[in-house]
Amino acid sequence: MAFFCQQASAQEIEARMYSNAPIGINFVTGGIAQAKSGSYRLTTEAVNLTRIVDVFGQSGRISLLLPYAQLTGSGNVGSQGMNASAEGLSDPVVKVSANLYGAPALSLDEFKNYQQDLIIGASLAASIPWGKYNSDQMLNVGANRSVIQPGIGASQAVGPWRLELSGMATIYTNNNNFLGGNTLSQNPMYSTETHVIYYFQNQAWISADATYYMGGQSYVNGFPINGSQENWRFGSTLSYPINKQNSIRLTGSKGVYSNTNTDYTALGLSWQYRWGGGL
């Protein structure tokens, strides 16, 4: 279940991670997402702020995610019952990304004539361990440790289609106050994801998403407490523009294979508003 709490936030399937947008545009997104595994349910309300910036002549993004979560459920680990009841601020996440090729930094007027071909980009995200954490319980909405995620990816345009492929490493710092002063450490998790995206004439788009991740064995005081993970997830995303400044997005994903029975189902709904850049 601790794995479920980590992956529901750290291993989201994000389409259009490496795409181009006009410099100076800002986005604010508010939404709600829910991940469920057995009787355990993690509900997260979040606000995400993003600004498009010029990075050495290519477009880039700076984002700040502020989540608030509720965790409920009950079950058994072996012969021991485990109840989950936690609510509060989850760990904020700062993310920066830069396109390295194929996404020139353009003004809003210049962007009207832009046609995507191949985009290659890189990203770096890090969580800040400010979330609510109780060292007396195993399951929390805050992790009491940082998660660092470097990534690289590419997006290829083929008519109205976009074909995306990316890879990421998830690196965990130690939690030195796990269940009353123990040290929880974890090996890195490695993941790859792919998206097939179709754009409609009104700029709505829909994607088929898949991700595979492996690794992440955990230790308490240096002793292994589980094996390495291996998981497949599939999902879909639909984005629909209300007007040129507002859009709504629906997301869903489901685990289809896990070697440690840690599958979960996730659903999300968000509203995005954009401004700046001469809009």
Question: Which stretches within 40-143 are classed as H helix?
Answer: 108-111
Q: b vs e for 172-210, b when ≥16 Cβ sit within 10 Å of the residue's Cβ?
A: bbebebbeeeeebbbbebebebbbebebeeeeebbbebb
Q: How far apart are CA 246 and CA 64, in angstroms?
A: 19
Print pLDDT tens along the chain (279 aa): 444 555 555 556 788 989 999 999 999 999 999 999 888 899 999 999 999 999 999 999 999 999 999 999 876 655 555 667 889 999 999 999 999 999 999 999 999 999 999 999 999 999 999 999 999 888 899 999 999 999 999 999 999 999 999 999 999 999 999 988 899 999 999 999 999 999 999 899 999 999 999 998 999 999 998 778 888 999 999 999 999 899 999 999 998 877 766 678 999 999 999 998 766
Enter the tokens of residue 44: 């997260």
Cα 247 to Cα 22: distance, rounded to the nearest angstrom: 17
Exposure letters 114-146 (e unless 16+ CB within 10 A, then b):
eeeeebbbbbebbbeeebbbeeeeebbbbbbbe
For the chain, give percent helix, strand, coil, nearest 5: 5, 65, 30
